[in-house]
């Protein structure tokens, strides 16, 4: 008989605290306790962009197409300014962010949204043993061979190899509004990344090293779009397992199929309830 989600989550929390399972955060984590001051999710952000710049109705709910339309017709600067404006507020860290920030054995946190909340939570803990590695857009690269850049806890850009010495890496694969403003959001941002991601070139070496022999826990993630599924698949590629996802009941057929194909065990329960169970656990 399979264990219930509630009985599994205590062990999952202990394994995360021990550094054996890596949290993979989606934008819905921001909704766990209160409505945040930033857009949550690709569709909500697409509609917000479309409300500020006229976008054809057929693409208003597709973030990557909407951002590309604005970039093409209003220049990339417009996209960057809007994203900086939308994500300038930093939501107060909720219980999940605070708990994760207080786990010194956690080698890697994957955060797939553009906000600065996880960064703020790590800073609030007074930790200096961490840094951020984030994807960067072709439009903002300082040289042609860079897929990502490393940013220290103090906000300064550092050589990529410095990240190998951080106790905890905060990995923002789609970029981040803070502190550098580098983001991947338009179709053109993703063209090269999606071309090479199968051979893992856009994935930082430090991330590849730290996922080895470890599993993942998806929290606040949805997989209704091919880009979201591709990034989740490639970031967790060659990891050790197991894989879990705390998810709502209303997953689409495509989402359920993705979880099945990737060997991800779905745990159907409210995120806040799951976090309470995980954070009460202690590592062995």
Task: Give the per-residue pLDDT at 20.
Answer: 96
- Asked, for residue 199, whether it belongs to a domain, the answer is yes
User: What confidence tens digit (pLDDT) does each residue in 222-235 have?
Assistant: 998 899 999 999 99
**pLDDT tier at 249, thresholds 50, 70, 90:** very high
The string of DSSP letters for the chain reads: -PPPHHHHHHHHHHHHHTTSEEEEE-GGGGGTTS--SS--SHHHHHHHHHHHS---GGGTT-HHHHHHHHHHHH-HHHHHHHHHHHT-S-PPP-HHHHHHHT-TT--EEEE-SS-SHHHHHHHHTT--SEEEEEE--GGG-SSTT-SEEEEETTS-EE-GGGGGG-SEEEEETTB-TTTT--B--SHHHHHHHHHHGGGTTTS-HHHHHHHTT-EEEEES----SHHHHHHHHHHSTT----EEEEE-TT--HHHHHHHHHTTEEEEES-HHHHHHHHHT----
Residues 76 and 184 in one domain: no
Residues 125 and 233 in one domain: yes
Mean pLDDT across the chain, nearest whole number? 91
Enumerate long-range contacts of 12-16, CB under 8 Å, 24 or more apart.
12/217, 12/244, 12/278, 12/281, 13/277, 13/278, 13/279, 13/280, 13/281, 14/281, 14/282, 14/283, 14/284, 15/215, 15/283, 16/100, 16/103, 16/106, 16/217, 16/278
Residues 178 and 107 in one domain: yes
Residues 220 and 92 in one domain: yes
Task: Give the per-residue pLDDT at 284.
Answer: 55
User: What confidence tens digit (pLDDT) does each residue in 75-133 have?
Assistant: 999 999 999 999 999 999 999 999 999 999 999 999 999 999 999 999 999 999 999 99
Residues 183 and 268 in one domain: yes
**pLDDT tier at 48, thresholds 50, 70, 90:** very high
Higher pLDDT, 198 or 10: 10
Query: Once rounded to an integer, what is the mean pLDDT over residues 195-217?
Result: 89
Q: How far apart are CA 192 and CA 77, in angstroms?
A: 20
Residues 32 and 43 in one domain: no
Residues 190 and 228 in one domain: yes
Q: Which residues pair with 134 in a beta bridge?
A: 149, 172
Least confident segment among 44-48, 140-144, 214-218, 246-250? 140-144
The last residue of one of the domains, among 86, 120, 152, is 86
Task: Give the per-residue pLDDT at 10.
Answer: 92
- Residues of the domain holding 113: 5-38+87-279
User: 58: buried, middle or exposed (CB in 10 Å: 19+, 13-18, 0-12)?
Assistant: exposed
Residues 50 and 148 in one domain: no
Task: Give the per-residue pLDDT at 124.
Answer: 96
| CATH number, domain with residue 240 | 3.40.50.1220
Total domains in the chain come to 2
Does 238 score more than 50 pLDDT? Answer: yes
């Amino acid at each position: 008989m399979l264990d219930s989600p509630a009985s599994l989550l205590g062990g999952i929390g202990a394994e995360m605290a021990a550094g054996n399972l890596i949290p993979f955060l989606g934008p819905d984590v921001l909704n766990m306790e209160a409505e945040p001051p930033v857009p949550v999710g690709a569709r909500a952000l697409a509609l917000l962009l479309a409300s500020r710049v006229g976008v054809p109705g057929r693409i208003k709910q597709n973030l990557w197409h909407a951002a590309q339309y604005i970039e093409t017709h209003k220049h990339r600067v417009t996209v960057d300014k809007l994203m900086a404006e939308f994500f300038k507020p930093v939501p107060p860290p909720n219980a999940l962010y605070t708990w994760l920030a207080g786990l010194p054995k956690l080698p890697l946190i994957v955060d797939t949204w553009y906000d600065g909340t996880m960064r703020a939570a790590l800073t609030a803990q007074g930790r200096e043993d961490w840094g951020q590695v984030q994807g960067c857009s072709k439009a903002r690269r300082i040289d042609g061979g860079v897929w990502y850049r490393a940013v220290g806890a103090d906000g300064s850009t550092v050589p990529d190899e410095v990240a190998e010495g951080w106790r905890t890496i905060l990995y923002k694969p789609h970029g981040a509004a803070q502190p550098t403003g580098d983001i991947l959001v338009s179709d053109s941002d993703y063209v090269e990344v999606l071309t090479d991601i199968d051979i893992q070139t856009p994935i930082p070496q430090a991330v590849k090293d730290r996922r080895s022999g470890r599993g993942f826990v998806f929290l606040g993630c949805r997989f209704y779009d091919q880009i979201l599924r591709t990034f989740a698949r490639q970031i967790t590629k060659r990891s050790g397992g197991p894989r879990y996802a705390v998810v709502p009941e209303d997953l689409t057929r495509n989402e359920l199929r993705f979880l099945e194909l990737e060997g991800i065990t779905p745990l159907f329960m409210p995120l806040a309830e799951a976090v309470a169970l995980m954070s009460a656990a202690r590592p062995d």
